Amino acid sequence: MSSQLTFLRPKNLNESRILSWFSLKNAQYVASNSTIAGLNVGFNSKEHQEVILANLKALAKETTTNLKNIAIAQQVHKTHVEVVSKGGIYPETDAFVTNTPGLALMIQVADCGAILFGDSTHKVIGAAHAGWRGAEQGIVSKTVNQMLDQGAKLAHIHVYISPCISVNAFEVGEEVAQLFPEEFVLREGFNKPHIDLKSYIAHELMECGIPSKNILKDESCTVENDQSFYSFRRESTSAGRMAAVIKLNQLS
């Protein structure tokens, strides 16, 4: 059934050394005994764990990666970056970095941004989960710094910012809005402030020194497009999770 699955393939992170995927909702895909339609990979969703495991196996097949070679984050909206050399489930982790060939990194999202990083020249990749909490607390710079520690160079790092909640859909309270620079807070035309999360993430990447030409930002909104994406803001606890995967390809 994996051949029926559809993914986004970031143009700047797919070549011989680095491969990447962002799974769409794939509502037509229904695993046995599932309660949430689609390719839901969220351990923290209201789905039976055996269904999530079956979906992860389908994802692994699509990415031509043994499931044991995928590092999976159990995210907590914080900023811990784990440098990994093997697959498995990593508790209380919101970002990964690796220079291990054959290893894939996976982030789960349903409105937050998934950020994929790759330096094919120096063979270092990263993946981060960035909701407003993680973004505001520095998950971007912490991931970049760990990549540099592993040998990456700023000029060679390419980055993909996944579909996530758009500024039109991201209404917040004033206490959240005040945490962000005003240039990323929209107030005109709204009853409450709105945050431009994608632009803030891109800004933070450039502040780290990553060239703007190396950053690809997907403008799709997870809240507004119910056909393609899960959305926690739209579906609450019945939402599934999409997967962002990046792999440092093992070349002979």
pLDDT of the residue at 252: 59
Return d(Cα 116, Cα 162) in angstroms, integer.
8
Q: What percent of the chain has pLDDT over 90?
A: 94
Interstrand relation of 88-91 and 70-74 (parallel, antiparallel or unpaired): parallel
Choose between 3 and 15: higher pLDDT.
15
* Per-residue pLDDT tens digits for 121-135: 999 999 999 999 999
Dihedral angle sign, alpha carbons of residues 182, 184, 186, 192: negative
Q: pLDDT-based confidence at 251, cuts 50/70/90?
A: confident
Question: What integer best gives the mean pLDDT of the chain?
Answer: 96
At 197-234, the pLDDT tens digits run 999 999 999 999 999 999 999 999 999 999 999 999 99
The confidence score (pLDDT) of residue 152 equals 98
Mind listing the pLDDT tens digit for each residue in 165-188? 999 999 999 999 999 999 999 999
pLDDT tens across 234-246, in order? 999 999 999 999 9
Confidence class of residue 4 from pLDDT cuts 50, 70 and 90?
confident
Domains and CATH numbers, the chain: 2-247 (3.60.140.10)
What's the Rg (C-alpha) of the chain?
A: 17
User: How would residue 2 be classed by pLDDT, with cut points 50, 70 and 90?
Assistant: very low
Q: Give the pLDDT confidence of 11-65 residue by residue, as tens digits.
A: 999 999 999 999 999 999 988 899 999 999 999 999 999 999 999 999 999 999 9
Q: Determine whether 29 is exposed, middle or buried from the number of CB atoms within 10 Å of its CB (0-12, 13-18, 19+).
A: buried
Q: Give one DSSP letter per residue of 40-105, joined into a string.
A: ---TTSSS-HHHHHHHHHHHHHHTT--GGGEEEEE--SS--EEE-SS-EEEET--EEEE--TT-EE
> Whole-model pTM?
0.97
- 60-119 residue pLDDT tens: 999 999 999 999 999 999 999 999 999 999 999 999 999 999 999 999 999 999 999 999
Write down the pLDDT at residue 1: 40
Q: Residue 3 has what pLDDT?
A: 53
- Tokens representing residue 31 in the block: 């695993």
